[in-house]
Amino acid sequence: MTEPVMTATALERHYDVSGGFLRKARTLKAVAGLDFELYPGKTLAVVGESGCGKSTLARMVTMIEEPTAGHLILDGQEMTPDTWASRRDAVQIVFQDPYGSLNPRQRIGTILEEPLKINRKEMSKADRQKKARDMLALVGLRPEHYDRYPHMFSGGQRQRIAIARALMLDPKVLVLDEPVSALDLSIQSSVLNLLVDLQERLQLAYLFISHDLSVVRHVADELIVMYLGRAVEKGSRDAVFNAPYHPYAKALLSATPKAVPGGEKDRIKLKGELPSPLSIPDGCPFAPRCWKAQDKCRAERPMLPDQPHAAACFFPENGGEPA
Amino acid sequence: MDDALSSEAAMVNDRPGRLREFWFYFRENRGAMIGLAIFAVFTFLALFGPWVAPHDATAQFRDATLQPPVWQDGGTWTHILGTDPLGRDMLSRLIVGARFSFFVGVFVVCIAATGGIIIGLIAGFSPKWLDSIIMRIMDIVLAFPSLLLALVLVAILGPSLTNAMIAIAIVLQPHYVRLTRASVMSERQKDYVTSARVAGAGTMRLMFVTVLPNCLAPIIVQAALSFSTAILDAAALGFLGMGAQPPTPEWGTMLAEAREFILRAWWVVTFPGIAILVTVLAINLMGDGLRDALDPKLKRS
């Protein structure tokens, strides 16, 4: 197998939350120990419900926030705030909302050329313009769009522009933070196809963050299911989709809408609310909502076994190996 | 799948220059055009007033004191808008006075806006403690009645037009700081700022290239409004004897000098008042048009 382009080990990010007047400040563990590897030309999908730390993960990988603990290794070198400036060109991001991610005051050309202006100071103006125009063509827009403002484009077109900007520096890793969830269904597929196409052509490693499992099924190679800042299950797409081990993953998959009307409905309804990330239960974080929870689950935290397809659960479904 | 993209792309191929585009949108606003016309006359008079005026602004015609305007009994064509108690020609004084009002406006807006925008940007981008310190200082300045604070400042610095302008600039500054900071705070949350950071933009670039242009619309309107506020405040200070000193033909000072003749000779107070009113109104109209034309979101695509 090829070398991973990015490796994360025991990645953590904590926030201090002030408890208000006369109360002790508390620590919110947005991401509490995460391991993953990104390979060129492959997509790692991270799924989970709101508040499970997906976006915090994106902010750490794109060097906006420093991990509280753990290591993030890019191309064999650890990423630290001192070296951020020189490594910005290797990791870029595409955001969820294409209406907020483009500067409304700048023309498309200026938006596309900004990363070059900052990171490739020796590049001439003509070269920059040529590259921007080429990139527009690559993402399926026309050269005339170079002089337009973002508000003249539809959501799908804007997302293409955002992708073009992210690719201007020839990154190795592209973080896609719910790139299609703000688009309507017909546009979603065309943007997804563009992403798949670009990945093949440029051998990009994708970190695909999403809560939409049908989209994930379409693009992912590997899959991580996150719950309250931790990975509860990881594995290849087919393995996880066909036989999820962790009860949470199973419940999540059962909630995917199916295209067969009147088909069998085996949707698992979870009881209770997502616990506050400020007071995560001692044992398995999922225990309060799990239908299989036993005393052991409430007392002890299951760890993720080091296997290709694994779940952090003592009593896994579908014949998985217990933690 | 790209057919939809290309069909509308064919419409505009080469874009007009930035200035022409601005002019195109500005021209559609009739109020703004009227404002601009009046402002142009005002600017012309400010630049060339002494050469345009029929008489010297300080010359006293002793045989024609308090002469009414030409359309009233006793008015003459020599003094179209009449004369003041010392026999000085009203029209000439108003024309020459435009220069002072214009100068006050430009000077005050430049100082207050530059300072306010920079402080506001710093406050918006700085850690919470520095932000709090800056904003509390601005709150203190705002807590004073503005004219009173200007009066105190002028009293400390000494009464003159320059000191009055500095005082007014200081009094107006907090409005810019608050406005800038508020827009910066809301813009900073947006994804395009984050993506500029991911692209490696430094704080200076984020402040002035990425964020500031998106905060300009309210600031431009505020600048236009405070241009007129500055003229009004300078007139008020002049009226209270703390601004321009006689015999300077400043509009506020003219009002002050003519106070005791209000009942006998209406023209000595009415004309400076109308001059202030028309100028302020024109500038406000122009400011609105400026905002509409500068905001790309309001343009037709």
Who contacts B198 (Cβ-Cβ below 8 Å, separation ≥6)? A62, A63, A64, A88, A91, A92, A93
Q: List the 136-165 stretch of A: residues with Cβ below 8 A of B.
A: 140-142, 144-145, 147, 149, 151-152, 154, 157, 162, 165
Which chain B residues contact residue A100 at CB under 8 A? 190-192
What's the pLDDT at B180? 93
Q: By CA distance, what is A113's nearest residue in B? A: B199
Domain that holds residue B238: 2-298
Residues of chain B with Cβ-Cβ distance to A132 below 8 Å are none
A149: confidence class by pLDDT, cuts 50, 70, 90:
confident
Quickly tell me which residue has 């007139």 as its tokens. B235
Question: Is A214 strand, coil or helix?
Answer: helix
R_g of chain A computed on alpha carbons: 21
φ, ψ for residue A183, nearest 5 deg: -105, 155
Chain A residues with CB under 8 Å of B296 CB are: 104-105, 149, 151
A167 in Cβ contact with A198 (< 8 Å): yes
CB contact under 8 A, B200 and A118: yes
| DSSP H helical ranges for B2-157 | 3-9, 18-27, 30-52, 90-125, 128-143, 146-157
Indicate yes or no: CB of A190 within 8 angstroms of CB of B1. yes
φ, ψ for residue A303, nearest 5 deg: -100, 155
Distance from the Cα of B203 to chain A's closest Cα (Å) equals 12
Tokens 């108003």 belong to B94
Query: Could you give the CA distance from residue B238 to residue B245 in angstroms, rounded to a whole number?
Result: 7
DSSP 8-class letter at B178: H
Report chain A residues whose CB lies below 8 A from the CB of B203: none
Contact B199 A91 (CB under 8 A): no
Per-residue pLDDT tens digits for B77-90: 877 787 887 878 88
- For chain A, the average pLDDT equals 85
pLDDT at site B11: 40
Which one of B191, B199, B205 has the shortest CB-CB distance to A100?
A: B191
What angle, 0 to 180 degrees and rounded to 10, lies between the N-to-C axes of helices A108-119 and A155-167? 20
Q: Which residue of A has its CA nearest to B17?
A: A147
| Choice among A90-99, A147-156, B12-21 with the minimum mean pLDDT | B12-21
pLDDT on residue A176: 92
Instruction: Please state whether the peptide bond connecting residue B247 to the residue before it is cis, i.e. omega within 30 degrees of 0.
Output: yes
- Give me the tens of pLDDT residue by residue for chain B, a chain 301 residues long: 444 444 444 444 445 556 777 788 788 888 889 999 998 998 898 888 888 888 887 778 877 777 788 787 777 787 778 788 787 888 888 888 888 888 888 889 999 999 999 999 999 998 889 999 999 999 998 888 888 888 888 889 888 888 888 888 988 899 999 999 999 998 888 889 988 988 888 888 888 888 988 888 788 878 887 887 888 888 888 888 787 777 788 888 888 888 788 888 888 888 888 888 898 889 888 888 887 777 656 555 4
Taking CB atoms and an 8 Å limit, are B195 and A162 in contact across chains? yes
The pLDDT assigned to A163 comes to 92
A177 forms beta bridges with A209
Query: CA-CA distance, B197 to A85, in Å (whole number)?
Result: 10
Of B199, B201, B297, nearest to A104 by CB-CB distance is B297
Distance from CA of A290 to the nearest CA of B (A): 36
Q: What is the pLDDT of residue B13?
A: 42
- Span A262-284, average pLDDT: 73
Helices (H), chain A: 54-61, 84-87, 108-119, 125-138, 155-167, 185-202, 213-219, 237-242, 247-254, 295-299
Q: Which of B200, B210, B297 sits opposite A85 (nearest CB)?
A: B200
Pairing between β-strand A310-311 and β-strand A230-236 as defined by DSSP bridges = antiparallel
- CA pair distance A256, A252, nearest whole angstrom: 7
For residue B174, the model assigns a pLDDT of: 92
**Cα(B32)–Cα(B155) distance, rounded to whole angstroms?**
38
Which of A79, A144, A173 to probe by mutation at the B interface, max B CB count within 10 Å? Answer: A144
Instruction: State what percent of residues in chain A have pLDDT above 70.
Output: 94
Contacts of B190 in chain A (CB under 8 A): 100-101
In this structure, what token pair is assigned to residue A257?
């809408």
Distance between CA atoms of residues B195 and A102, nearest Å: 8
Closest CA to A248 of A180, A186, A297, A193: A297
Element (H, E) at B292: helix B267-294
Res B5: pLDDT: 44
B37 three-state secondary structure: helix
Contact at CB, B191 and A151, closer than 8 angstroms: no
Which is higher by pLDDT, A7 or B58?
A7
Closest CA to B185 of B114, B123, B119, B117: B123
Q: Which range marks the domain in which residue A252 is found?
A: 245-256+273-323
Q: Is the dihedral of CA A236, A238, A239, A240 positive or negative?
A: positive
The model's confidence at residue A198, banded by pLDDT at 50, 70 and 90, is: very high
Strands A173-177 and A91-94: parallel
Q: How many distinct structural domains can be found in chain B?
A: 1
Domains held by chain A: number: 1
pLDDT band at A270 (very low <50, low <70, confident <90, very high): confident
CA distance A140 to A68: 40
C-alpha separations of A166 from A297, B122, B150 in Å:
43, 28, 51
- Highest mean pLDDT out of A39-43, A256-260, B19-23, B67-71: A39-43
Contacts of B198 in chain A (CB under 8 A): 62-64, 88, 91-93
Say whether pLDDT at A323 is over 70.
Answer: no
* Beta carbons of B191 and A63 less than 8 Å apart: no
Contact A151 B195 (CB under 8 A): no
The crossing angle, in degrees rounded to 10, of helices B128-143 and B161-188 is: 140
Cross-chain Cβ contact A144/B205 below 8 Å: no
Higher pLDDT, A20 or A128: A128
Token code pair at residue B275: 């001059």
Interface of B with A (CB under 8 A): 1-2, 4-6, 9-10, 12-13, 15, 190-192, 194-201, 205, 210, 213-214, 296-297, 301
The yes-or-no verdict on residue A80 having pLDDT over 60 is yes
B-contacting residues of A 56-75, CB under 8 Å? 62-64
Q: Which residue in A97, A115, A151 is closest to B199 by CB distance?
A: A115
> What CATH number is attached to the domain comprising B225?
1.10.3720.10
